[in-house]
């Protein structure tokens, strides 16, 4: 049986080919005509020739999403929200995993360019904007999500990581904590959040002790686990720990469980991302809650506006407020200097 064609839809509906073509290419047609066309498509099991359509419209109606780590729950939730938003707008999504490798990220962007995607959403691995050159040469718009790439001329959707971290550490200080540790990655978001930690400590006149700082090259459960093991072994341990990422928080909880330490009695905790950990750990953890759905909405809106309207306007930097989701993982200290 031969596949149905646009001419079959014409015969079924009695409408002009121009009206049917307009509808199939995303244009607005009268309600009664749209209903006739959709009924004919269902009856005839019509499937448009996407390759032919792309040749005519110069668009594939495909968006590339290059993520830094597809195994991350944070990335997975962004993919879910974004995929749904793109589907509603008539776009499909091509997913590429950079696996924390800047070289692979550059290859993934070139792959998306070679596949003629209409735009690229990028959750960056590193800070080298040269990875974006292939998209720039092909005039394919790129929107950065969650983190910036210094020197890039792309739209960017983030939270104010430094300010959100400052408020989180301030929350610990308001509960009487002065011996506050930080476990952070050296990635963009991790380092920005560490700077927020320093801002809060200095504003409060609190001592930043070298033995209370633990860092690693990237966010990971292992980073949190090793950092917390080090902090628990100190002769004069901190009373509170600030964690810059979900995976880091998970590693910290694992280390505390293994070491028989209690939260918040032994260590008060505050971290980032209101994901699964917040639902299963007791007491409920106090966290900076990133507005992930809103971040995806803004990034898709910006990217599709670029796809539809060109790239002549200056790049936009949109910073979305991230509030603190209250929990019970921070205890009040009446005498922070003698607290065990």
In this prediction, residues 72-84 reach a mean pLDDT of: 92
Q: What tens digit of pLDDT does each residue of 89-123 get?
A: 889 999 999 998 999 999 999 999 999 999 999 99
Q: Tell me what pLDDT residue 52 has.
A: 52
For residue 145, what are the β-bridge partners? 157
Residue 304 has pLDDT above 80, yes or no: yes
224 with 249, same domain: the answer is yes
262 with 170, same domain: the answer is yes
CB 226 within 8 A of CB 251: yes
Radius of gyration of the chain (CA): 25
Q: Does any domain span residue 55?
A: no
In this prediction, residues 262-273 reach a mean pLDDT of: 94
Q: What is the distance of C-alpha 7 from the center of its chain?
A: 44
In this prediction, residues 313-328 reach a mean pLDDT of: 90
176 with 139, same domain: the answer is no
97 with 16, same domain: the answer is no
Nearest Cα neighbor of 221 from 189, 183, 262 is: 183
Residue 55 has pLDDT above 80, yes or no: no
247 with 101, same domain: the answer is no
CATH number at residue 98: 3.40.50.2300
188 with 81, same domain: the answer is no
For the beta carbon of residue 290, count every other beta carbon within 10 angstroms: 25
CB 285 within 8 A of CB 327: yes
194 with 306, same domain: the answer is no
178 with 150, same domain: the answer is no
Q: What tens digit of pLDDT does each residue of 30-51 get?
A: 898 889 888 988 888 877 665 5
Q: What percent of the chain has pLDDT over 90?
A: 62
Q: What tens digit of pLDDT does each residue of 127-144 get?
A: 778 889 999 999 999 999
- Which is higher by pLDDT, 200 or 24? 200
Q: How far apart are CA 108 and CA 105, in angstroms?
A: 5
Residue 124 has pLDDT above 80, yes or no: yes
Q: How far apart are CA 331 and CA 238, in angstroms?
A: 13
Nearest Cα neighbor of 169 from 148, 187, 193 is: 193
- Which is higher by pLDDT, 67 or 43? 67
232 with 116, same domain: the answer is no
Residue 314 has pLDDT above 70, yes or no: yes
Cis peptide preceding 264, ω within 30 of 0: yes
Tokens at 254, concatenated? 């694992």
Q: How far apart are CA 301 and CA 119, in angstroms?
A: 12
Q: How far apart are CA 286 and CA 270, in angstroms?
A: 5
Residue 76 has pLDDT above 60, yes or no: yes
Q: Does any domain span residue 332?
A: no
283 with 192, same domain: the answer is yes
Number of domains in the chain: 3
**Banded model confidence at residue 336, pLDDT cuts 50, 70, 90:** low
CB 143 within 8 A of CB 303: yes
Residue 1 has pLDDT above 90, yes or no: no
Q: What tens digit of pLDDT does each residue of 208-251 get?
A: 999 999 999 888 999 999 999 999 999 999 999 999 999 999 99
Residue 340 has pLDDT above 50, yes or no: no
Domain extent at residue 22: 6-48
Query: Could you tell me which residues come within 8 angstroms of residue 268 by beta carbon, excluding any fewer than 6 positions away?
Result: 172, 175, 177, 239, 240, 241, 329, 330, 331
Q: Does any domain span residue 340?
A: no
């Amino acid at each position: 049986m031969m596949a149905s064609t646009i001419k079959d839809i014409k015969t079924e509906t009695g409408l002009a080919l121009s009206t049917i073509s307009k509808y199939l290419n995303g244009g607005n047609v009268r309600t009664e005509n749209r209903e006739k066309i959709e009924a004919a498509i269902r009856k005839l099991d019509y499937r448009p020739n996407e390759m032919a359509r792309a040749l005519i419209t110069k668009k594939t109606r495909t968006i590339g999403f290059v993520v830094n780590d597809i195994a991350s729950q944070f990335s997975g939730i962004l993919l879910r929200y974004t995929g749904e938003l793109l589907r509603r707008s008539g776009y499909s999504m091509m997913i590429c995993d950079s696996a924390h490798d800047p070289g692979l990220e550059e290859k993934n962007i070139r792959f998306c360019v070679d596949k003629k995607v209409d735009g690229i959403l990028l959750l960056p691995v590193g800070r080298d904007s040269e990875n974006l050159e292939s998209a720039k040469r092909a005039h394919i718009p790129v929107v950065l999500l969650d983190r910036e790439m210094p020197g890039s001329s792309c739209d960017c959707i983030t939270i104010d990581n430094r300010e959100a971290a400052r408020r989180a550490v301030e929350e610990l200080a308001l509960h009487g904590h002065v011996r506050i540790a930080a476990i952070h990655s050296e990635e963009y978001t991790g380092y920005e959040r560490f700077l927020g930690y320093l801002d809060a400590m200095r504003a409060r006149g609190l001592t930043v002790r070298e033995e209370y700082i633990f860092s690693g090259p990237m966010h990971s459960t292992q980073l949190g686990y090793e950092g917390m093991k080090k902090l628990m072994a100190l002769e004069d341990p901190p009373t509170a720990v600030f964690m810059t990422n979900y995976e880091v928080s998970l590693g910290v909880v694992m280390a505390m469980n293994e070491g028989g330490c209690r939260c918040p009695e032994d260590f008060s905790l505050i971290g980032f991302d209101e994901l699964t950990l917040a639902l299963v750990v007791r007491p409920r953890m106090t966290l900076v809650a990133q507005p992930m759905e809103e971040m995806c909405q803004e990034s898709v809106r910006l990217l599709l506006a670029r796809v539809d309207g060109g790239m002549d306007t200056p790049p936009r930097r949109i910073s979305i407020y991230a509030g603190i989701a209250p929990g019970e993982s921070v205890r009040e200290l009446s005498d922070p200097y003698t607290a065990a």
